[in-house]
Structure 1
Amino acid sequence: MNYYLGVDGGGSKTYTLIVDEQGTVVGKGQSGNGNHQTGYPEAKRNIRAAAEMALEQAGLTREAIAFACFGLAGADREADYTILRPMIAELGFPRHAIVCDTMTALRAGTDRPYGVVLICGTGTNSAGVSPSGESYQCGGFSYLFGDFGGGGSLCVEAFRAVIRAWDGRGRPTRLTPLVLKDLGYASVDAMFEDYLDHGRTPPLRLAKLLFEAAKQGDAVAREILRGQGAELGLSAKAVIERLGMAGESFDVVLAGSILTRGEGDFVLDPVREAVKMAAPAARLVRLQVEPVVGAVWLAVEATGVPLPVPVYERLRSVSEFGHVQPQAVQPEN
């Protein structure tokens, strides 16, 4: 019996799954931050803990794992891999690989070994793999290096819109009462003074207020969300063109809370339009399983055989972390 291990190490949590060759989950592990960029000792400790937890539950040794795939946040550049290779090698898995967590999210969201992924959660990232196996990552390195958006930016945009409406530089917006209520202020003036006096930063949760205001018909919130969608569309177009996938049929996997939990099509419409122009045969698919499932699928495929149907069927509908299978985003009528 062959066993495969997948790891998804993110900025807040690390998940591990071990499955057999029929796709049955035999071990799982969970711990905290797995991103070496935000704390190397902590990430190293958490990745090891999650892997050992899964091995113990499965009753397996490292040598019993046919292949282990580590999908890690922060695995972006050769400088990162110089750090990560010895870290992961110390875990003792004889056959293993390290990929960026964008690749595990992509693989978890499609039944093909190629496609494009757009991530918009706290931050943004995009990447793709062509049918020939060529890969390309676009973004993920902060605003200074060309990125825009994610909850970390959208919460600031919501806050700024309220301030600009109050001081006369912007239009009135339904965001004003929503933000004041969420933050617990009686007036914009009080909020303005308190944030200035104490150097406060708008919390990430304000991003969801943009969707609430947009549903109420607020033009300011809709403009912000459409701007986010347009940026993601540009990223998708860049990946598609770089990989020469304009004529291909593939999935564009949408990952991260802004894309998978945000209500309405305010962000999706510009993405859909950009993808349709860049690759007419592509379709948008929301990711609704944990990316660790993609790491398992990559581990299986790394042994040199196509993903066995039983493994795919067992894991695509239900993961050990309570999510369901990906669903296609319906095209605009």
Structure 2
Amino acid sequence: MVMALVKKDKEVLKHTRVSSTGVNPFVTWRRFFMYYLGIDGGGTKTKAIITTAKGKVIAEALVEATNPNSVPEETMKLRFQNLLNELWKQSNLQINDIIQVFAGMSGVSRQASKQRMKQILSVILEGYENISVDNDAVTALYSGTFGKPGIVQISGTGSITYGVNADGEHGRVGGWGHFIDEKGSGFSIGRDALQAAFKALDERRIPTLLGEFILEHFHEKELPDVIPHVYQAADVKVEIASLSRLVFKAADQVDTIALSIIEQQGEEIGKSIARLISNHFKEERQVVPVVLAGGIFNRVDLIQETMAQTLKLLGKKVHFIMPEIDPAGGAVIAALKKDGIQINEHEFIQNYKMSKRG
């Protein structure tokens, strides 16, 4: 009987949606049965998750990177296929059980690339049409704002400052790649660490604590021997970004050079956020929520104060948010938003955390 009701509900809802001002009478009842699929496709890994409208996790899976700018298309398709197969295996569901799919992907800033990614996913999902694709910064933003306007500062291997204002307009500062501008990223911090270590060598000063940590990291005794490890790495950007943790380790020992690097990068992040507020949040007088996402903010204790001071000096009022769900959960929030579902944040977070695997 329940399955029959669910199928009937699906058919009705093909033609029934929440209006901008009204309430869909089927929504509350449907929330107990329907499922949403969120994908967070990053430059190093891709995670997908299926949840109910209330945030209960039904299945989750992880594969390697699916950024179309760095992964061959056929490899990317195979990874998506493996990702989705694992979801179906865990959940015992099929694509017709899914109401909306939202994929937040790195490397799809242009409209043409979004459309191509949607086509690829649609083919893999047997012609399924309810698919939305956007920048992965959107999923990171919604993991903290639950679909409301705001800014997300992503500082991981790379970095970007991204926002959606009250009019639904999207804006960004930075995130153009490590050759151009990714201040506040793991790459930028790691690069500064290498520069500081080699500068001390060139000036024949006493080796820095950072230099010692770098040698230990690469299992070498002399700094010049580190060069092949960096330039011959399988992924130079990721290799250099991994050194950022050494900067935080040195800062914990009150190393002045490490503390200076973190302070400079914190200032740059603050300036990027301020620039985006000036460009896209001019009409919004209240405090702007800023979601902090990415591995660099695992050490928010060392970098947030400088960011806050910089924003204060520039006359910008913000409220920092450390998200309680991951970007894959943010992708589900985007799918729910697309479907017109109102979200109880507290309930969603509680269900999400309690039902997460591992």
* Mapped contact 1:118–1:236 kept (Cα < 8 A): yes
SS of the residue 2:214 aligns to: helix
| Counterpart mapping for 1:310-321 below 5 A | 312-315=348-351, 317-318=353-354, 320=356
- Quote the Cα distance in structure 2 between the aligned partners of 1:22 and 1:68: 16
| Counterpart mapping for 1:195-274 below 5 A | 195=227, 199-200=231-232, 203-244=240-281, 247-259=285-297, 261-262=298-299, 264-265=301-302, 267-274=303-310
* Mapped contact 1:68–1:96 kept (Cα < 8 A): yes
Please report how far the alpha carbon of residue 94 of structure 1 lies from its aligned counterpart in structure 2 after TM superposition. Answer: 2.6
Please report how far the alpha carbon of residue 85 of structure 1 lies from its aligned counterpart in structure 2 after TM superposition. Answer: 2.7
* Mapped contact 1:14–1:32 kept (Cα < 8 A): yes
- Quote the Cα distance in structure 2 between the aligned partners of 1:43 and 1:293: 22
Please report how far the alpha carbon of residue 193 of structure 1 lies from its aligned counterpart in structure 2 after TM superposition. Answer: 5.0
Please report how far the alpha carbon of residue 109 of structure 1 lies from its aligned counterpart in structure 2 after TM superposition. Answer: 1.8
- Which of residues 36, 40, 65 in structure 1 aligns to 2:98? 65
Deviations 1:108-151 (CA, angstroms, capped at 9, x unpaired): 12345221111111111110111222111222112444333422
Give the aligned residue type for 1:269: E
SS of the residue 1:36 aligns to: coil
- Which of residues 116, 122, 140 in structure 2 aligns to 1:89? 122
Please report how far the alpha carbon of residue 194 of structure 1 lies from its aligned counterpart in structure 2 after TM superposition. Answer: 5.8
| Counterpart mapping for 1:1-333 below 5 A | 1-39=33-71, 40-90=73-123, 91=125, 92-168=127-203, 173-186=208-221, 190-192=222-224, 195=227, 199-200=231-232, 203-244=240-281, 247-259=285-297, 261-262=298-299, 264-265=301-302, 267-277=303-313, 281-308=317-344, 312-315=348-351, 317-318=353-354, 320=356, 322=358
Deviates more, 1:296-305 or 1:273-282: 273-282
Q: Flag structure 1 segments of 5+ consecutive residues without an equivalent.
A: 323-333
* Mapped contact 2:147–2:337 kept (Cα < 8 A): no
Q: State the partner residue of 1:331.
A: none
Please report how far the alpha carbon of residue 315 of structure 1 lies from its aligned counterpart in structure 2 after TM superposition. Answer: 4.5
Larger Rg: 1 or 2? Answer: 2
Deviations 1:81-130 (CA, angstroms, capped at 9, x unpaired): 24313212212333110011111011112345221111111111110111
- Quote the Cα distance in structure 1 between the aligned partners of 2:132 and 2:347: 19
Q: Flag structure 2 segments of 5+ consecutive residues without an equivalent.
A: 1-32, 234-238
Please report how far the alpha carbon of residue 234 of structure 1 lies from its aligned counterpart in structure 2 after TM superposition. Answer: 1.6
Give the aligned residue type for 2:251: A
- Quote the Cα distance in structure 1 between the aligned partners of 2:84 and 2:313: 43
The 1:159–1:133 alpha-carbon spacing in structure 2 relative to 1, beyond 3 Å, is: same
